[in-house]
Structure 1
Amino acid sequence: MEKIKKIYKFSQSWTGTVIIVLLIIFFFIQAFVIPTGSMKNTLLVGDFLFVKKFSYGVPTPHIPFLEIPILPDFDEDGHLIKAQGPKRGDIVVFRNPRNPKEHYVKRCVAKGGDEVVFANKTLYIRMSEGDEYMKENYAKNLVWIENKLFVKEPYSQKGIHYDDRVNTEATFLKHLIGNDLAMKPVIIDGFGEVGYSGGNAYYYEVSEDEYFMVGDNRDHSYDSRFWGAVPYKFIVGKPWFVYFSWDEQKLVRWDRIGRFMDTLENNEKFIRYHESDLDALE
């Protein structure tokens, strides 16, 4: 009882408060703001989120804003405690593999051992568990590609969409010329004419312990299609709920505050779309 009293008294002091807050930030919860429109219509620019940092293990803690690690990465996996990584379909906060001080949020569409094909504004995944698993879980979405079974658009969340005004082939070609395309142009029978890239589709095989991340705003997202899959060591956590939200004019979106991710990505009432935000890849 005496120890409890001492702990309570310590927690009421300035030092105790700071230490408790830092422990929470380092190991449990992190605040994150959506800076771009790559996850529309699910998450909007100006959504402020709390992220559960213990969803996929415990990441090596970093000093906020400076992003300097305060402990060594003992196993070189980016985590103090390793756990199972993201599942397909999860929305994930992770460090940009090209700039680990920068955080991204995207949807995990494939994991280690999966094969990814992107063509004609359509995503196809061959899942590493094999044909029987796909037949059992995705019977209505199966297609054959080059004598292999794939799942066509396996994710049905309402915020996932394409923009008919965007020429996807031109976008991919621009990134290919700039040596900024992770997916390989391939020729697949039945997928239309071969473009200037040398293919009519794009292919990527995900390495073990890596995750292929794509924005729900498919034609306005700079993601794994361009810079490759995300190693587990860069995985931070899973968005939990929106604690504040405002739009481009700083008007508060009261209806989004306090909403959990499951609601935001599945309830059509909260799906928002703004034409003004479709300027470029984000």
Structure 2
Amino acid sequence: MKHFLFKAYKFSNSWTGTLVIVLFVIFFVAQAFRIPTGSMKDSLLIGDHLFGKKFSYGIPMPHIPFLEISLMPWSDSLKLMDGSTPKRGDIVIFRPPHNIKTHFVKRCVALPGDELFVRNKDLYIHPKEGDEWTKEHYKGYTLAQAYGKTWVVNPYLHDHKGVHHDNKMAIDSYTIVDNNGQIKKSISLEEAKKIQLKSDERMAPTRLLIPPVFNTDVIQVEEDHYFMMGDNRDHSNDSRFWGSVPYENLEGTPWFIYFSIDKNWRIRWDRMGKTPEDLEQSPYIDRAIKEREEQDKEYYGLT
């Protein structure tokens, strides 16, 4: 046994051993991700660098970092082995169905079989378990009757302080999104009529999305799919635009923040080492809300 452990120790100290261990960790245990957009603030902020726990929902297909080349290019599968499934309200790292070479981080708001619709920004959820289960498990929530069923109104605004709406963004607003799916700006209907969008030297050609963001028909989530939405509800490119996410696209969950820096290059020391659950509690969520409100004032030209 000692001989085996000594050989393992020697191997781990070699360049080859170190590389094998690092790749094993990246492929199967944890991978570093950076939050590049504000779609999940106030829960996760732009500039948060986090480790994702890759074994939360089974084992995803290993891909070479940055190149996003599968280690098994002969297979189209995105998952090696199935495992647990998300719960309502989980924050999930996944590959969006319209661009599997990138990673998104959103909150799972509906499970397979759940129904939902959005009306004037409000999210209505009808859990697959039915009316009586909903009344029993959502006591204290706002319930509504529609389409002959009982719906929970904005359950995640009730449960998670980081979920919010932008009160300055009108129901008939347009959202400018580039070809990489990143939201650039929100504008009013009047502004949209006045401008002609063109490509420029710095970014891909853009397009206007007339949002099903604020009003949708009733959607039933397909089998083995999950409906994802950002906590920054009115500034999130999510399942409202491109549909629910297949189970095999799920990569894992955020584990903890290992580094965080704001747009002014100030390190957010208080967020480092914290889990998403930690960051949804005071005083961290209160600081995140304050930072967002200050950014909103700058964005809308307020004093």
Quick check: TM above 0.5? Answer: yes
Match of 1:3, SS?
helix
Show CA shifts across 1:60-119 (max 9, x none): 000000000002586x55211111321110000111211111111000000111111111
Number of the residue aligned with 2:81: 81
Q: What is the deviation of 1:254?
A: 0.4
- What is the 5 A alignment of 1:1-282? 1=1, 2-71=3-72, 77-141=77-141, 142-155=143-156, 156-171=159-174, 202-271=217-286, 272-273=288-289, 274=292, 275-276=294-295
- Structure 1 residues 221 and 92, CA, compared in 2 at 3 Å: closer, same or farther? same
Distance 1:181 1:203 in 2: 18
Cα separation, partners in 2 of 1:168 and 1:73, compared to 1, 3 Å? farther
Q: Which residue of 2 aligns with 1:197?
A: none
Q: 1:86 to 1:44 in 2, by over 3 A?
A: same
The 8 Å contact of residues 271 and 284 in structure 2, kept in 1 or not, is answered as: no
- Work out whether residues 77 and 232 of structure 1, in 8 Å CA contact, stay in contact via their aligned partners in 2: no
> Structure 1-normalised TM-score?
0.86
2:155 aligned counterpart, secondary structure: coil
Determine the C-alpha separation between the residues in 1 that align with 2:26 and 2:261: 23
Secondary structure of 1:163 counterpart: coil
3-state SS in 2 of match to 1:168: coil
Q: Distance in 1 between matches of 2:212 and 2:236?
A: 15
Deviations 1:212-244 (A, max 9, x none): 100000011111111111111211100010000
2:150 is paired with a residue whose SS is strand
Cα distance in structure 2, aligned partners of 1:51 and 1:224: 21
SS at match of 2:87: coil
CA distance in 2 between counterparts of 1:201 and 1:101 reads: 28
Question: In the alignment, residue 12 of structure 1 is paired with which amino acid?
Answer: N
Tell me whether 135-144 or 57-66 shows the greater mean CA deviation: 135-144
Stretch moving more, 133-142 or 270-279: 270-279
Superposition RMSD on alpha carbons, in Å? 2.5
Q: Does the 8 Å contact 2:39/2:235 carry over to 1?
A: yes
Cα distance change on mapping 1:201 and 1:229 into 2, 3 Å: closer
Structure 2, unmatched stretches of 5+, are 176-187, 190-206
Number of equivalences? 263
Q: Distance in 2 between matches of 1:183 and 1:111?
A: 20
Deviation (angstroms), 1:181: 7.3
SS of alignment partner, residue 32 of structure 2: strand
